[in-house]
């Protein structure tokens, strides 16, 4: 019989759990409400979700930097705080997109919102731990919920998307598990701070390099899938196309932030330990990702698919910053995603309001370029706003993504990777083409069909969201400073 | 004497078998089998390492892997069911409407 | 005195603006009258200035305002009226006044009458700037200004269509105008380079500063500067090989030819050499080259004039030839003689051209002297004028040409350059021949024009009266040689013949005279009785060579214009579109195509996606293994 | 009014924003009024400008992103002042002469935004703000070319955008690298040009950075062989687009060289003299030849722009006050003259809907006023003395002569080749008999066109005769810049090459 | 010795069974061999002293998962032989072989180190179940709870995806919206 373990409640530091608990509790509350009374309107759930997330957000704000909790499983450092803030804020921005004027299948389920909240809790766990087990469970919680959310859209494309995402996710999970096993074999631990310690003492042992590299590669494969890096990106365009626009936009930002946090912890560790090889591999993948995704985006016929490739390319961009493993680099990751979030929110919201239940322009696509032809005449304000988002994505100053872009490039330059900055620059130029293509369609072409309304799905809340995204995109220059200083402070405080 | 490497190599082989399965299966149900095989392979590795290091973490990991595998099955089968209702088939070659 | 300078300078400018006001309205005679009046004002002011300079022996120098000031470069609008410039001013204003009045008659029927006066006065203004400027930049302003006016005036009848070179050797007025402008531009580049050399070695473009600095400069710099400036002069004064534009410039109205392409603008080159004499006098090689080129052009142009049938072109060739004389003199150091010949030539050549204009007017713009003949009946006054001018040109004493030209030939002898002397003498004979060939073919002999149904009539009276000052000057100008010498040698270096030459002066004069008279007699014998054409002669190689101006225009066209157009076309279609642009588009297309290629990896088939993922993972593993094994 | 520059930058933008409310029919008047106010504001700027002070004036500095060194930092000196004036003037004239009939309101709003970005580029003293306006200026131009252009408009617009965008991104990397070095040396982030000027960089760094900036600027200028976007852009753009593009947008490139490349990398600039001069000479001669081969009147003017930009480039790399000052002046002159020429081509295009020269002939007799103005602009374009075109060209050539006489002679061929293609255009379109019946009934310039063109003619002549008020401030600023470069240069060769105002005396 | 025999026996058997799972054309065979392989894997766990894990393996995998699969199989009516297009066998087996090779090489490396101290050492005297229990409910309580949430998610997902409500799709149904409009008008 082992001695019972006595643990004081204070040492558990339960507050570190508060944000996730709030999200989970919120999910449960929604389920309970559904049990009590059926057929409530989606707006109730949307607002409840927003409310829960808001509470979540506040509780994250209340966390102290650099605390560990619950037997050191929870890790609340600067990175985890800012990433949780971003995750929650992103979710808060995307979920009101459910308030469309038309009814879509998934929003009829109260479970949709519960799953959504569970998913956020999963992401938060990913971000707030350096224990590979908790990370794994967090990933899977979030992913399983996300697969379901995609499938709930209930049409053949969304099933297809869900199946593809799910299957590849399962393979990635296997890679992740195998990678963790190798790390465990190497160090006898799955907690990264211990792993780093043991690994640094073992690095000079003969014959181990293969295992060190191997573990990094297996984990990299798993996270490359999550971050949609070449050649693990193949799911992304199909899933984005199959999912609804809000979900696709959401997927392009929030899960990636969570995955980036883990990547910073994991690969940052390798690079910190002096395994330059990992850095090189990541850089190669980054360059391939941004370039190939860009080239493929050039030839797309569908805007959403184009945006999918574009967000793959953006991810490649940011992953390069990850490889730098400098404070600047890590700051730039979050800065980039924070700024990218607003623009992408806007862009996908614009696609969402123009969503019609039938495909009126193309048999395959919901948002072919032709749909937006001559939008300046049909919906001038909408066209201008969409163009702003496109320019922002292309990295035209002073819109939000530009600031992220130059910060990433500056980080690359600071770390001595000028060639990387040049590659990024050239890629941005290539990318400008496909963003411009939409602008050209909207502004310079005549409408293809005389279609009554393109903004079929518009509603006041959506207008508000788009307005918010527009303002945030355009006025980025004014809030970049506090953002940078906050992010930089948080990241340097957590030692990355 | 059976060392850690023996177990790990078995694990590696099974993992690779699972990978082959994932690669060659066109039936989604059978593809899921292959992913189960892969996860099981990892479990062997964890259990073995745990044993040799005399450390429980590996077993913990294995538990969670099992839990995850089980949840994946549930969600996966759920998706397969809606898909099957719609398509009447589980052949992934028919899932090619989105491409390019 | 300053106000006089301004009056002399700006009266033509005002005239030009005034005429321009009516540029698009129908013909208004008062425009011509006022323009002429203003020109006369300018002439009067110039004369008063000349008197002032003559009296005091001092130049009038004014700086009107700053023009360009950048870095160390400082260029003001400064004007300097000294012996040389005042001479030029008088010549220019005098001839232009006459030409203005003449034009009232000549342009009588032209709908663009007002426009013509505007251009013409603008030309005079530019010419005044050219001669009066106290710095090289100001000279260049005038230099380009006269170029533009010349372009405008040659192309005055721009509406005429392009013809082939066989139909009209100058193709069309607009073509000729462009040719003139572009050829001048080629020379202007040389001139600009000259300015640059001077500026970077002296630090200023003011004449006095430059001349003061000359002793401090090396020979190489001086020579290159002199050559560059002379290239500029070659263009404006139509020296070989930039001479073809001058004959083509005869497409312009005849008063223009008289004023610009005989009396004033074309002599700007000579003026430049005289103006910058301190530079040329210290660069003997360049000067000798100038003299040699001048002599060559004198002979070369005269040879082409021998067979030409076009009334104005003959005079143009003769202008060319006389310019050669002037350069010969200037090159040999006899600057004042060159200037003297310049002035004298201006009078009789303008007269000659205006006479030709009368003939044209009478002949309804027919210019072929083979189609004229016997005009003396209907156009007595013109005959006298042209005869006088031709005599002067031929150098028959006591007319102006004799004094000036003879002095040049004598100079050539004096300098010991016998080859030049011989050529000049022979040229003098040729000059006499072709001048009188033209006069006789036009005015004497059978009345060939009748075949073409032309009824010639004499020019308006007032026009003939207006021409009289020129005629008088053509006759008497020679007598002022010595006083002129005394006047200008305040500024220009004096040139005295050596003792030896002085002794031989009479004999030399006699030789020249003999050649001249010989020429006239030959012309009389051949043409005075009427035109006798000889197939044999006309088909001979030399005749055709001369008639086609040594095929030089054709050469230019074949070896410069056409290849240039061809290369341009090639540059555009071959290089710019095919190479440069295709490369740019090629990169874009390559990217797009590779997009089409790479999107194939996105088959839509999950199995393929899984393959990709596995390939990625396994490949990374293999790379990991290899790099771990390598170390 | 210490914040006159901010007013200048944002007035058109705010007006543009308000312009959405203005009724369609009144949009043009609104545009003209706004542009006129803006122009008078810029005149006021000139009036308040102290011509004897070579430094930056009306400086405004508000830190925007202090952690990253980005600040809203504006100022003008003699170099930028007149380019700003030209920008506002050409915008005003452009809007006045605008012949667009469709979507006038959109056009006016677009133009006002474009004006903001253009003025912004020339007043920015912070690299990032400069870059911001630089990139932003592409967007309205893209719209103008793409929406109102000819048949290939979309191709041309995208080509224009992507080409310049690509170049400027490389330039951005260069800027970031400079900022990095600055941070490395001082520990402070700053993108302020005045701070950057103080950096003394090793020569190899200078060379790389020079190359990065070069790509950005060279594409904009456009220098051979990056020029092929220009003929398309001009060929397809509506008149107003071409006017602004030629008059202002191209100047951004050359202005960039003066503002960034020279003072920041004096040694590299000196090393680059020969290659750049060679490219410039190729530009001058080659594009002059290509211009001669064109059939389309507008393409001639477009290629002639490239040729003239070659002259400007040459002057900038003369490294003496004459050359650089001449280049700055030539920027103004080219802006006004080529702008006017494009407007003139637009006049005939509006009437006949073709720009092919063989469609015309004899226009001088049908449209005499038009012919006169065209002739004056043509003469200014070929650099006739007493027109604006001469002063700049003369100064540039005289400046560069000090660097290399041979190259100057080659470059000087522009005065010949320029005359060749320009006169041939004039001859083909204006001279000769009227052959086409359609041309016989063409109307001469109407009031609108006359009112817009005559001021340009007056300026062309005024600045040709009396350029002093403009040359003086330019001269002061350029001299200050040169002496500063001289001080900063590391290598002796560079010090020798950079001539600070005492040039000619030393030669003696 | 006993351990060796067991190890090799289990190894050969699992590998063979999983090969059948992967290669068989018959779903039933594949599933049966998968179940059998999983049982044998629990054998590994027992050899390695992870008794509790072995039990869980048996219960969860062989019990729950396999039952799910068999129900699914019945639902899908997949008892007959499945025709599958084969993806380039060379590629598949090349990749499989390659990964096996690399992983084997990796695991053949001297991963084991005496120096490594167990962070959560086993206590053979107390028994595996107790050991596991203590660690699971202290250190790994949070992951455990999250796993519970995950299972909840899976459950909800399974229920709603397989539920009847999915049979009609609002996503492509225009009439749904008209109803809403009518309701609104009525109000």
Could you tell me which residues are beta bridge partners of residue A74?
A69, A129
Q: Name the pTM for this structure.
A: 0.92
**Residue C289: both structure tokens together:** 């080259």
Q: Is the peptide bond before D462 cis (omega within 30 degrees of 0)?
A: no
Task: Report yes or no on A318 lying in a domain.
Answer: yes
**Going by DSSP bridges, is the β-strand pair D70-76/A74-76 parallel, antiparallel, or unpaired?**
unpaired
User: Which residues lie across from C68 on neighbouring strands?
Assistant: C75
Contact across the interface for C621 and E99, Cβ inside 8 Å: yes
| pLDDT exceeds 60 at position C279 | yes
How far A155 CA sits from the closest chain E CA (Å)?
Answer: 7
pLDDT at residue E185, rounded to an integer: 63
A 92-121 residues with CB < 8 A to E: 101-105, 108-109, 111, 114-115, 118-119, 121
Which of the residue ranges A330-334, A489-493, C438-442 would you say has the lowest mean pLDDT? C438-442
Interchain CB distance below 8 Å, D139 and A429:
no
| A46-84 pLDDT, tens digit each | 999 999 999 999 999 988 888 888 888 899 999 999 999
Instruction: Answer yes or no: do B50 and E48 touch at CB < 8 A.
Output: yes
Query: By C-alpha distance, which of C267, C424, C237 is closest to C338?
Result: C267
- Which secondary-structure segment (H or E) carries C373? none
**Residue in A with minimal Cα distance to D128:** A397
Which chains would you list as touching A if contact means 3+ CB atom pairs under 8 Å? B, C, D, E
Touch E-D: 3+ C-beta pairs under 8 A: no
Q: Is residue A180 part of a domain?
A: yes
Mean pLDDT over C473-496 rounds to 85
Pick the residue from chain C with its C-alpha nearest to B26.
Answer: C607
| Contact call for residues A181 and A149 (beta carbons, < 8 A) | no
- In this complex, which of A397, A436, A481 lies closest to D67 when CB atoms are compared? A481
Q: What angle do CA C183, C184, C189 make, to 5 degrees?
A: 105
Q: Suggest the residue from C584, C587, C598 to mutate for an interface test with chain A (most A CBs closer than 10 A).
A: C598
* Mean pLDDT of the A300-315 span: 92
- Residue pair D82/D470 in contact (Cβ under 8 Å)? The answer is yes
Tell me how many domains chain A contains.
Answer: 1
Tell me the per-residue pLDDT of E156-168, one tens digit each, with 9 for 90 and over.
Answer: 999 898 888 888 8
| Residue scoring higher pLDDT (A142 or C397) | A142
Residue C333's contacts (CB-CB under 8 Å, 6 or more residues apart) are: C281, C287, C411, C415, C493, C495
Contacts of C598 in chain A (CB under 8 A): 292, 295-296
- pLDDT > 90: percent of chain A: 65
Torsion, Cα of C516, C517, C518, C520 (10° steps): 90
Nearest to D89 by CA among D347, D376, D335: D335
Phi/psi of residue C202, nearest 5 degrees: -110, -35
Give the three-state DSSP class for A205.
coil
Using an 8 Å Cβ cutoff, are D239 and D331 in contact?
Answer: no
From CA A81, how far away is CA A85, in angstroms rounded? 6
Q: How does pLDDT run across A427-476, given as a tens digit for each residue?
A: 999 999 999 999 999 888 888 766 666 777 888 899 999 999 999 999 99
Give a yes or no: residue A354 inside a domain: yes
B28 Cα to chain C: minimum distance (Å): 10
**A198 CB near a chain E CB, below 8 Å?**
yes
Position with higher pLDDT, E85 vs D80: D80
Which residue has better confidence, E172 or A2? E172
Predicted local distance difference test score (pLDDT) of residue D503: 45
Domains of chain E: 1-81 (1.20.120.1200), 140-187 (no CATH)
Is residue C611 within 8 Å of E98, Cβ to Cβ?
no
Q: Is the peptide bond between A231 and the residue preceding it cis, with omega within 30 degrees of 0?
A: yes
- Measured CA to CA, the distance from residue A300 to residue A294 in angstroms comes to 10
pLDDT tens for residues C7-55? 888 999 999 999 988 888 888 888 888 999 999 999 999 999 999 888 8
Task: For residue A1, tell me if it sits in a domain.
Answer: no
Residue A387 in any domain: the answer is yes
C-alpha separations of A17 from A56, A490, C510, D490, D502 in Å: 11, 19, 127, 60, 75
Phi and psi at B89, nearest 5°, equal -160, 155
CA distances in angstroms from C158 to C114, C393, D435, listed in the order given: 15, 32, 14
Per DSSP, the three-state class of A223 is: helix
- DSSP per-residue string spanning C482-516: HHHHHHHTTTSPP----HHHHHHHHHHHHHHHHHH
Report the chain C residue with the minimal C-alpha distance to residue E104.
C625
Q: Are B20 and E93 in contact (CB under 8 A)?
A: yes
Q: How far is C240 from chain A (nearest CA, A)?
A: 56
Nearest CB neighbour to C612, from listed A216, A231, A430 = A231
Q: Does B7 touch chain E (CB under 8 A)?
A: yes
Q: Cβ contacts of residue D460 below 8 Å, gap of 6+?
A: D333, D336, D337, D340, D376, D377, D380, D387, D388, D389
CA separation for the pair C251, C181 (Å, rounded): 14
* Domain range summary for chain D, segments of one domain joined by +: 272-508
Residue A347: C-alpha distances to residues A228, A298, A339, A341 (Å): 19, 18, 13, 10
* Bridge partners, D70 (sequence order): D65
Nearest CA in chain D to A388: D139
Please determine, for residue C300, whether its predicted confidence score (pLDDT) is greater than 80: yes
Q: Which residues contact C604 (CB under 8 A, 6 or more apart)?
A: A238, B95, B96, B97, B98, B99, B100
Best of B26, B95, B96, B99 to substitute, by most chain A Cβ atoms within 10 angstroms, is B95
How high does pLDDT run on average in chain A?
90
D362: left (phi over 0), alpha (psi -120 to 50) or beta: left
Question: What's the token pair of residue C430?
Answer: 């040729």
Tell the burial category of B78 from Cβ atoms under 10 Å away from its Cβ (0-12, 13-18, 19+). buried
Within 10 angstroms of residue C462's Cβ, the number of other Cβ atoms is 12
For testing contact with chain E, the best of A31, A148, A193, A243 (most E CBs within 10 A): A148
Inspect the interface and report whether the beta carbons of C599 and B100 lie closer than 8 Å. Answer: yes
Over 50: is that where the pLDDT of C535 sits? yes
Q: Consecutive sets of 10 residues in chain D, 508 residues long: mean pLDDT of each?
A: 88 91 90 94 92 89 90 92 93 90 88 94 93 92 90 90 91 92 91 90 92 93 89 91 92 93 91 92 92 91 92 91 92 93 91 88 87 92 90 92 90 91 90 86 88 92 91 91 88 81 45
Question: Would you say D194 and D77 are in contact if contact means Cβ atoms under 8 Å apart?
Answer: no
Instruction: Supply the ipTM of this predicted assembly.
Output: 0.91
Measured distance CA(D355)–CA(D347) in Å, rounded: 10
Q: What average pLDDT is seen over chain C?
A: 87
* Domain encompassing residue A65: 12-493
Rounded CA-CA distance D311/D326 in Å is: 10
Instruction: Check if C607 contacts E (Cβ < 8 Å).
Output: yes
- List domains and CATH numbers for chain B: 28-93 (1.10.287.3510)
Q: What is the mean pLDDT of chain E?
A: 85
pLDDT for D1 equals: 67
Is A160's CB within 8 Å of B75's CB?
no
Q: What is the pLDDT of residues B51-99, one digit of tens each?
A: 999 888 999 999 999 999 999 999 999 998 888 888 888 888 888 888 8
Q: Output the six-digit token pair for C293.
A: 């080129």
**Chain E residues near residue A133 by CB distance under 8 angstroms:** 140, 143
A45 occurs within a structural domain: yes
Neighbours of chain C (3+ CB pairs under 8 A): A, B, D, E
Task: Enumerate the H helices of D187-317 as residue ranges.
Answer: 193-197, 203-220, 229-236, 239-244, 250-256, 262-264, 266-293, 297-316
Tell me if A158 sits within 8 A of A250, measured CB to CB.
no
pLDDT category, A483, cuts 50, 70, 90? very high
Chain E hits for C618, CB-CB cut-off 8 Å, are 95, 98-99, 102
**CA pair distance D271, D497, nearest whole angstrom:** 10
Average pLDDT of the segment spanning C607-616: 90
* Residue of chain C whose Cα is closest to the Cα of A164: C606
| pLDDT confidence of residue D245 | 92
| Exposure on the CB side of residue C395, measured as CA atoms within 13 A | 34
Residue C202 touches chain D, beta carbons under 8 Å: yes
The neighbours of chain B, by the rule of 3 or more Cβ pairs under 8 Å, are A, C, E
C-alpha D135 chain-centroid distance = 16
Residues in CB range of D353: below 8 A, 6 or more apart = none
Contact D227, D283 (CB under 8 A): yes
pLDDT at C470: 87
Chain C hits for D390, CB-CB cut-off 8 Å, are: 144
Beta carbons of E34 and B33 less than 8 Å apart: yes
Token look-up 């008209």 returns: E178
Q: Give SS3 for C213.
A: helix
Asked if residue C68 lies in contact with residue D395, where contact means CB atoms within 8 angstroms, the answer is yes
Q: Considering the domain boundaries, does residue A6 fall inside one? A: no
Pairwise CB contact (< 8 Å): D128 & A413: no
Check residue D504 and give its pLDDT.
44
Q: Do residues D79 and D325 make contact, with C-beta atoms less than 8 angstroms apart? A: no
The partner residues of C310 in beta bridges, in order of sequence, read C368
Handedness of CA A87, A93, A99, A102 (dihedral sign): negative
- pLDDT of amino acid E182: 67
């Amino acid at each position: 019989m082992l001695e019972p373990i006595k643990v004081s409640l204070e040492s558990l530091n339960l507050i570190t759990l508060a944000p996730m608990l709030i999200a989970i509790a919120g999910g449960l509350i929604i389920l309970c409400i559904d049990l009590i009374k059926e057929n409530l309107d989606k707006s109730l759930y949307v607002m409840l979700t927003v409310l829960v997330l808001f509470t979540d957000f506040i509780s994250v704000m209340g966390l102290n930097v650099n605390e560990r909790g619950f037997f050191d499983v929870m890790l609340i450092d600067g990175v985890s705080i800012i990433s949780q803030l971003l995750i929650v804020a992103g979710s808060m921005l995307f979920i009101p997109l459910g308030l469309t004027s038309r009814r879509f299948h998934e929003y009829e389920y109260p479970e949709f919102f519960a799953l959504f909240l569970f998913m956020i809790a999963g992401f938060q766990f990913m971000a707030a731990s350096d224990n590979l087990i908790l990370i794994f469970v967090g990933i899977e919680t979030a992913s399983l919920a996300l697969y379901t959310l995609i499938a709930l859209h209930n049409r053949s494309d969304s099933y297809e998307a869900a199946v593809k995402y799910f299957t590849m996710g399962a393979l990635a999970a296997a890679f992740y598990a195998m990678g963790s096993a190798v790390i465990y074999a190497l160090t006898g631990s799955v907690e990264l701070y211990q792993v780093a310690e043991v690994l640094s003492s073992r690095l000079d042992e003969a014959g181990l390099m293969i295992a060190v590299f191997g573990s990094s590669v297996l984990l990299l494969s798993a996270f490359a899938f999550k971050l949609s890096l070449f050649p693990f990106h193949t799911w992304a365009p199909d899933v984005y196309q199959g999912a609804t626009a809000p979900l696709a936009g959401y997927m392009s930002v929030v899960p990636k932030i969570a995955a980036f946090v883990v990547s910073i912890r994991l690969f940052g560790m390798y690079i910190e330990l002096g395994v330059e090889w990992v850095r090189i591999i990541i850089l190669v993948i980054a360059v391939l990702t941004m370039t190939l995704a860009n080239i493929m985006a050039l030839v797309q016929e569908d805007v959403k698919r184009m945006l999918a490739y574009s967000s793959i390319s953006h991810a490649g961009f940011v992953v390069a910053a990850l490889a730098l493993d400098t404070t600047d680099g890590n700051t730039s990751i979050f800065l980039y995603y924070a700024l990218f979030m607003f623009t992408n929110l806007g862009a996908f919201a614009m696609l969402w309001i123009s969503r019609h239940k039938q495909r009126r322009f193309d048999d395959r696509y919901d948002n072919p370029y032709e749909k937006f032809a001559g939008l300046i005449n049909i919906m001038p304000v909408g066209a201008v706003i969409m163009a702003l988002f496109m320019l922002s994505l292309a990295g035209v100053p002073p819109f939000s993504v530009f600031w992220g872009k130059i910060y990433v490039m500056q980080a690359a330059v600071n770390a001595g990777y000028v060639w990387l900055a040049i590659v990024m620059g050239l890629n941005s130029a290539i990318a400008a083409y496909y963003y411009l293509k939409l602008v050209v369609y909207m502004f310079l072409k005549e409408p293809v069909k005389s279609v009554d309304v393109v903004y079929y799905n518009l509603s006041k809340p959506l207008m508000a969201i788009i307005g918010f995204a527009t303002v945030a995109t355009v006025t980025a220059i004014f809030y970049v400073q506090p953002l940078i200083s906050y992010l930089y402070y948080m990241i340097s405080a957590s030692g990355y | 004497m059976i060392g850690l490497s023996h177990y790990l190599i078995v694990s590696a082989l099974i993992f690779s078998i699972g990978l082959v399965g994932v690669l060659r299966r066109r039936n989604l149900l059978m593809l899921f089998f292959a992913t189960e095989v892969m996860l099981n392979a990892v479990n062997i590795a964890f259990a073995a390492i745990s044993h040799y290091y005399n450390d429980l973490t590996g077993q913990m990991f294995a538990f969670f892997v099992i839990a995850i595998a089980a949840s994946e099955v549930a969600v996966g089968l759920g998706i397969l069911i809606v898909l099957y209702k719609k398509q009447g088939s589980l052949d992934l070659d028919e899932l090619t409407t989105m491409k390019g | 005195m300053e106000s006089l300078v301004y009056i002399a300078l700006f009266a033509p400018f005002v005239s030009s603006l005034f005429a321009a006001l009516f540029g698009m309205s129908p013909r208004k005679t008062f425009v011509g009258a006022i323009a002429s009046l203003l020109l006369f004002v300018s002439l009067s002011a110039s004369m008063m200035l000349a008197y002032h300079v003559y009296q005091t022996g001092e130049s009038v120098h004014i700086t009107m305002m700053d023009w360009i000031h950048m870095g160390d470069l400082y260029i003001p609008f400064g004007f300097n009226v000294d012996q040389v410039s005042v001479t030029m001013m008088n010549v220019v204003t005098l001839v232009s006044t006459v030409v203005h009045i003449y034009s009232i008659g000549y342009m009588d029927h032209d709908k663009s009458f007002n426009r013509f006066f505007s251009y013409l006065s603008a030309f005079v203004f530019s010419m005044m700037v050219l001669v009066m400027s106290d710095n090289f930049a100001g000279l260049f302003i005038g230099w380009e200004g006269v170029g533009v006016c010349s372009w405008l005036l040659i192309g005055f009848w721009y509406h005429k269509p392009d013809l082939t070179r066989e139909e009209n050797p100058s193709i069309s007025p607009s073509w000729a105008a462009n040719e003139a402008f572009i050829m001048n531009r080629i020379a202007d580049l040389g001139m600009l380079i000259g300015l640059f050399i001077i500026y970077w070695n002296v630090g200023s473009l003011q004449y006095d500063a430059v001349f003061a600095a000359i002793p401090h400069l090396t020979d190489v710099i001086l020579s290159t500067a002199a050559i560059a400036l002379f290239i500029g002069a070659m263009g404006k004064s139509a020296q070989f090989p930039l001479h073809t534009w001058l004959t083509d410039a005869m497409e312009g109205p005849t008063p223009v030819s008289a004023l610009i392409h005989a009396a004033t603008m074309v002599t700007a080159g000579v003026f430049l050499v005289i103006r910058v004499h301190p530079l040329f006098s210290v660069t003997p090689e360049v000067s000798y080259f100038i003299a040699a080129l001048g002599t060559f052009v004198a002979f070369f142009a005269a040879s082409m004039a021998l067979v030409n049938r076009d009334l104005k072109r003959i005079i143009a060739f003769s202008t060319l030839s006389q310019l050669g004389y002037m350069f010969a003199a200037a090159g040999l150091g006899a600057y004042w003689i060159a200037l003297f010949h310049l002035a004298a030539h201006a009078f009789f050549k303008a007269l000659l051209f205006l006479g030709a204009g009368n003939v044209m007017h009478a002949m309804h713009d027919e210019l072929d002297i083979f189609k004229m003949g016997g005009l003396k009946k209907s156009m007595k006054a013109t005959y006298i004028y042209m005869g006088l001018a031709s005599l002067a040109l031929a150098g028959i004493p006591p007319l102006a040409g004799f004094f000036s030209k003879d002095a040049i030939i004598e100079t050539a002898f004096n300098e010991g350059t016998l080859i030049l002397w011989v050529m000049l003498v022979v040229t003098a004979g040729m000059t006499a021949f072709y001048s009188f060939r033209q006069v006789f073919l036009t005015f004497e002999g059978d009345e060939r024009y009748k075949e073409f149904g032309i009824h010639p009539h004499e020019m308006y009276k007032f026009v003939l009266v207006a021409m009289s000052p020129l005629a008088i000057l053509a006759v008497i100008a020679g007598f002022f040689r010595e006083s002129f010498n005394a006047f200008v040698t305040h500024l220009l270096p004096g040139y005295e013949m050596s003792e030896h030459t002085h002794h031989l002066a009479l004999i030399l004069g006699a030789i020249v005279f003999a050649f001249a008279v010989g020429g006239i007699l030959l012309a009389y014998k051949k043409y005075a009785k009427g035109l006798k054409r000889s197939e044999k002669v006309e088909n001979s190689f030399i005749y055709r060579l001369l008639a086609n101006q040594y095929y030089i225009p054709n050469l230019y066209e074949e070896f410069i214009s056409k290849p240039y157009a061809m290369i341009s076309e090639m540059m555009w279609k071959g290089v710019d579109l095919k190479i440069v642009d295709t490369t740019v588009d090629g990169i874009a297309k390559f990217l797009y195509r590779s997009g089409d290629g790479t999107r194939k990896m996105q088959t839509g088939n999950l199995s393929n996606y899984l393959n990709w993922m596995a390939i990625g993972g396994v490949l990374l593993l293999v790379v990991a293994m290899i790099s771990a094994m390598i170390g | 009014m210490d914040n006159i520059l901010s007013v200048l930058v944002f007035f058109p933008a705010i007006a543009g924003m308000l312009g959405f409310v203005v009724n369609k029919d009144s949009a043009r008047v609104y545009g003209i009024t706004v542009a006129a106010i803006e122009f008078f504001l810029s005149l006021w700027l000139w009036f308040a400008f102290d011509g004897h002070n070579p430094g930056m004036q009306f400086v405004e500095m508000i830190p925007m992103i202090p952690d990253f060194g980005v600040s809203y930092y504006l100022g003008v000196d003699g170099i930028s002042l007149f380019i700003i004036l030209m920008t506002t003037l050409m915008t005003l004239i452009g809007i006045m002469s605008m012949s667009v009939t469709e979507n006038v309101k959109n056009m006016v709003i677009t133009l006002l935004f474009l004006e903001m970005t253009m003025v912004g580029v020339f007043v920015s003293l912070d690299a990032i703000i400069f870059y911001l306006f630089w990139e932003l200026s592409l967007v309205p131009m893209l719209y103008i070319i793409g929406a109102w252009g000819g048949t290939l408009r979309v191709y041309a617009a995208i080509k224009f955008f992507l080409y310049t965008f690509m170049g400027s991104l490389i330039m951005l990397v260069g800027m970031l690298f400079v900022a990095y070095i600055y941070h490395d040396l001082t520990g402070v982030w700053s993108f302020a040009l005045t701070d950057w000027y103080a950096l003394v960089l090793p020569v190899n760094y200078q060379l790389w950075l020079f190359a990065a900036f070069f790509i950005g600027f060279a594409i904009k200028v456009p220098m051979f062989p990056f020029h092929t976007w220009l003929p398309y852009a001009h060929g397809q753009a509506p008149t107003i687009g071409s006017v602004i593009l030629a008059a202002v947008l191209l100047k951004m490139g050359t202005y960039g060289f003066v503002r960034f490349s020279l003072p920041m990398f004096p040694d590299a600039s000196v090393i680059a003299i020969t290659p750049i001069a060679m490219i410039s000479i190729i530009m001058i001669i080659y594009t002059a030849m290509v211009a001669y081969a064109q059939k389309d009147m507008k393409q001639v003017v477009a290629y002639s722009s490239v040729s003239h930009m070659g002259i400007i480039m040459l002057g900038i790399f003369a490294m003496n006050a004459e050359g650089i000052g001449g280049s700055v002046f030539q920027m103004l002159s080219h802006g006004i003259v080529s702008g006017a020429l494009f407007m003139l081509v637009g006049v005939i295009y509006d009437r006949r809907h073709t720009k092919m020269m063989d469609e015309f002939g004899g226009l001088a007799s049908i449209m005499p006023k038009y012919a006169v103005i065209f002739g004056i602009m043509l003469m200014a374009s070929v650099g006739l003395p007493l027109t604006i075109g001469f002063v700049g060209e003369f100064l540039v050539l005289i400046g560069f002569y000090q660097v290399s006489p041979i190259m100057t002679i080659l470059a000087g061929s522009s005065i010949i080749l320029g005359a060749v293609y320009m006169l041939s255009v004039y001859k083909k379109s204006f001279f000769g008999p009227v052959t086409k019946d359609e041309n016989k009934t063409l109307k001469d310039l109407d009031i609108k066109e006359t009112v817009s063109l005559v001021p340009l003619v007056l300026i062309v002549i005024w600045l040709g005769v009396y350029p002093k008020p403009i040359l003086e401030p330019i001269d002061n600023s350029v001299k200050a810049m040169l002496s500063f470069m001289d001080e900063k240069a590391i290598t002796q060769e560079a010090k020798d090459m950079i001539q600070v105002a005492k040039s000619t005396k030393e030669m003696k | 010795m006993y351990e060796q025999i067991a190890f090799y026996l289990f190894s050969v058997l699992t590998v063979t069974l999983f090969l059948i799972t992967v290669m068989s054309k018959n779903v039933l065979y594949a599933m049966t061999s998968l179940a059998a392989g999983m049982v044998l894997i629990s054998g590994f766990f027992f050899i390695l002293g992870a008794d509790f894990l072995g039990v869980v393996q048996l219960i969860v995998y062989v019990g729950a998962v396999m039952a799910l699969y068999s129900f699914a199989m019945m639902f899908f009516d997949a008892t007959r032989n499945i025709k599958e297009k084969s993806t380039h066998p060379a590629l598949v087996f090349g990749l499989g072989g390659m990964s096996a090779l690399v992983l084997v090489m990796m695991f053949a490396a001297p991963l084991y180190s005496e120096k490594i101290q167990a962070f959560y050492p086993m206590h053979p005297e107390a028994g595996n179940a107790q050991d596991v229990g203590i660690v699971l409910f202290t250190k790994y309580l949070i992951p455990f709870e999250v796993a519970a949430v995950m299972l909840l998610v899976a459950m909800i997902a399974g229920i709603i995806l397989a539920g009847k409500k999915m049979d009609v799709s609002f996503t492509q149904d225009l009439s749904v919206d008209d109803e809403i409009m009518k309701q609104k008008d009525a109000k």
